[in-house]
Chains A and B, each alone.
Chain A
Amino acid sequence: MTATATPDAPPDAAGPVPEPVQKPPLLKPAVRKRLVPYWLLLPGILWLLIFFAAPLIYQASTSVQTGSLEEGFKVTWHFQTYWDALREYYPQFLRSVLYAATATVMCLALGYPLAYLIAFRAGRWRNLVMILVIAPFFTSFLIRTLAWKTILSDGGPVVGALNSLHILDVTSYLGITEGQRVLATPLAVVCGLTYNFLPFMILPLYTSLERIDPRLHEAAGDLYARPITTFRKVTFPLSMPGVVAGTLLTFIPATGDYINAELLGSADQKMVGNVIQSQFLRVLDYPTAAALSFILMAAILTMVTVYIRKSGTEDLV
């Protein structure tokens, strides 16, 4: 972003705009005109500052408080809370990152073909497929997550099929399922996460794939590239902005999610979101909940920064 501070620039940003010369006396004074964007911003930005930014700062102060609900909490710069929270809940942190990363990779693997299909192969069905991708967005995602409980239920068709194909033996050996069950195992939670965040992967992928000129594919074919080479050397690199945006949009919310772990998992699949939720709403230990939120935020910020650097698309956001 090039935020050139030119206070008296004309309101229409693009190009030199000739001021309407017809009615000079009616022109507002330059100062009032300069204030227009600030007046437009004021209510919304105030809203975000008061209800988004200020709470985060407040949260920071809460995380270094000690006390109890009865006596009240006081800022005592008790940084020990962070250390204690990390030491006690590092399995949940690791699990969150692991589950979210797996779900993100699954989303990419599942979402890419569908985005590709919509962008290049759907033809006149494009709108219909698009509707089928977006429509689940508008139905309650808790209801759909509960539906997974039915789909993956013990003795249901999915478990039965996996069992008769001896896939459950393999997955149990790998430790992602347990015995004859899929529910209450890591597989179920990752399956739910993948499902819930798939649209967030497909839409940015589709947007960046759609921008690719199909003639580039023809050109690659004319130069004797096999389809797989065309994909590897032309399509995939050009879709990188979508891949980066999609992985971020999937990974970040998936790390903080606690609904899938709660509905499809058991106590052994609890993620950091579950811990924050129970510390805040059940145990009422606000400092620990605040410290956990901050560790989660810091971890995500670090990972995202490293990822954006590595993928070389700093100008994305």
Chain B
Amino acid sequence: MTALTRWIRRNLVVIAGLGTLAYLILPNVVVLVFSFNKPNGRFNYQWQRFSTEAWTDPCGVADMCGSLSLSLKLAIWATIGATLLGTMIAFALARYRFRARSAVNSLIFLPMAMPEVVMAASLATLFLNMGVDFGFWTILIAHIMFCLSFVVTAVKARVMSMDPRLEQAAQDLYASPAQTFVRVTLPIAAPGIAAGALLSFALSFDDFIITNFNAGSTVTFPMFVWGSAQRGTPVQINVIGTAMFAVAVLCVLAGQLAGARRKRS
């Protein structure tokens, strides 16, 4: 018994940490398990019996796959927009000294430090008063706006830690500024840009609060899920949730493997 208590005491951190990990993973497990449920009624909150119905017919619910593809489209465009604009800002901040640098830094920091509901309501107020029709474009504008800061932060960190002598070496070897940028600077900054892009995609795809205020009658996937919490949750939502988790794990795994291989070579 004392051996056991001693072991527990020595590994207390590990036990507590694994407990937290279980807490983090538990809902994903529930989503997976309940994707095989055949609910009795509109809500999928109680286990009834095993069925693979939802998996064989993932788009069997009206409007769900439409909202899913809309969310994908939005996330792709928001990622492209935010990554482009954010990378440019990051390079300016990491490479140049200029007036208003600290003002720009705070303007980048503020959107990340503000409750989403405040940003959402104020942007919607602006759109309302300018008489803009809510829909795809207002959502896209909002998504690019809040993803931008995260891209800047990710790319800036990478560019700041980069050795400037590499670019000087390229210049010494008669590379033009454009060649230096494409052949040297960009490949080194790429992991930061990729991280920023991945983060924007996830943030945009998953955003509910800002979208809810700026979507009008357009329904993205998170909004569909929100609505279904009131109307009744189809099992297919769990199928999509499980598939997203699997794709995310595979993507991160692939990224890790690629990173490990690069380190080895």
Please determine whether chains A and B interact with each other in the same assembly: yes
A residues bordering B, Cβ < 8 Å?
A: 1, 3-7, 9, 11-15, 17-18, 20, 22, 34, 36-38, 40-41, 43-45, 47-49, 51-56, 58-59, 62, 110-111, 113-118, 121, 127, 129, 131-151, 153, 195, 198-199, 202, 248, 252-253, 255-259, 263, 273, 276-277, 280-281, 286, 289-290, 293-294, 296-297, 300, 304, 317
Measured between alpha carbons, how far is A190 from B96 in the docked complex, in Å? 44
B241: which A residues are within 8 A, CB to CB?
Answer: 139-140, 143-144
Measured between alpha carbons, how far is A47 from B121 in the docked complex, in Å? 17
A3, A111, A202, A263: the one within 8 Å of B229 (CB): A263
A37: which B residues are within 8 A, CB to CB?
Answer: 92, 95-96, 98
B35 to chain A, nearest CB (A): 10
* Contact across chains for A110 and B20 when beta carbons are under 8 A apart: yes
Does any Cβ of A come within 8 Å of B174's Cβ? Answer: yes
B223 to chain A, nearest CB (A): 9
* Contact across chains for A116 and B17 when beta carbons are under 8 A apart: yes
* Contact across chains for B118 and A296 when beta carbons are under 8 A apart: yes
Q: Output the nearest chain B residue to A127 by Cβ-Cβ distance.
A: B256
Measured between alpha carbons, how far is A148 from B148 in the docked complex, in Å? 31
Q: List 21 A-B contacts (CB under 8 A).
A: A3-B101, A7-B99, A12-B164, A18-B168, A44-B88, A45-B107, A47-B85, A52-B107, A55-B122, A59-B125, A127-B256, A137-B248, A150-B44, A150-B45, A202-B20, A252-B113, A257-B209, A281-B212, A281-B213, A296-B117, A297-B114
Given A6-B97, A40-B89, A289-B121, 6 more A-B residue pairs with CB atoms under 8 Å apart are A22-B174, A37-B92, A45-B107, A144-B241, A146-B225, A151-B26
* Contact across chains for B252 and A134 when beta carbons are under 8 A apart: yes
A211 to chain B, nearest CB (A): 13
* Contact across chains for A4 and B252 when beta carbons are under 8 A apart: no
* Contact across chains for B24 and A195 when beta carbons are under 8 A apart: yes
Measured between alpha carbons, how far is A144 from B221 in the docked complex, in Å? 14
* Contact across chains for A144 and B31 when beta carbons are under 8 A apart: yes
Measured between alpha carbons, how far is A43 from B119 in the docked complex, in Å? 20
**Cβ < 8 Å to A, chain B residues 101-148:** 101-102, 104-105, 107-111, 113-119, 121-126, 128-129, 141-142, 144-145, 148
> Count of chain B residues with Cβ under 8 Å from any Cβ of A?
96
* Contact across chains for B20 and A296 when beta carbons are under 8 A apart: no
* Contact across chains for A3 and B102 when beta carbons are under 8 A apart: yes
Measured between alpha carbons, how far is A277 from B213 in the docked complex, in Å? 8
* Contact across chains for A48 and B145 when beta carbons are under 8 A apart: yes
Q: Output the nearest chain A residue to B253 by Cβ-Cβ distance.
A: A131
B171: which A residues are within 8 A, CB to CB?
Answer: 20
Does any Cβ of A come within 8 Å of B202's Cβ? Answer: yes
* Contact across chains for A129 and B256 when beta carbons are under 8 A apart: no
Known: A110-B23, A289-B121. A51 touches B102 (CB 8 A): no
Interface string of B17-30 (1 = CB under 8 A from A): 11111011111101
A48, A111, A145, A146: the one within 8 Å of B111 (CB): A48
B8 to chain A, nearest CB (A): 14
B141: which A residues are within 8 A, CB to CB?
Answer: 51
B23, B44, B100, B244: the one within 8 Å of A140 (CB): B244
B106 to chain A, nearest CB (A): 8
**Cβ < 8 Å to A, chain B residues 162-216:** 164, 167-168, 171-172, 174, 202, 205-206, 208-209, 212-213
* Contact across chains for A132 and B202 when beta carbons are under 8 A apart: no
B131 to chain A, nearest CB (A): 12
B108: which A residues are within 8 A, CB to CB?
Answer: 48
A255: which B residues are within 8 A, CB to CB?
Answer: 115
B233: which A residues are within 8 A, CB to CB?
Answer: 146
A151: which B residues are within 8 A, CB to CB?
Answer: 26-27, 30
A248: which B residues are within 8 A, CB to CB?
Answer: 113
Known: A110-B20, A281-B213. A135 touches B104 (CB 8 A): no
Known: A59-B125, A133-B21, A146-B233. A293 touches B117 (CB 8 A): yes
Does any Cβ of A come within 8 Å of B237's Cβ? Answer: yes
* Contact across chains for A147 and B172 when beta carbons are under 8 A apart: no
B17: which A residues are within 8 A, CB to CB?
Answer: 113-118, 121
Measured between alpha carbons, how far is A144 from B25 in the docked complex, in Å? 10
A145: which B residues are within 8 A, CB to CB?
Answer: 27
A236 to chain B, nearest CB (A): 13
B20, B45, B252: the one within 8 Å of A113 (CB): B20
Measured between alpha carbons, how far is A118 from B13 in the docked complex, in Å? 10
Measured between alpha carbons, how far is A140 from B242 in the docked complex, in Å? 10
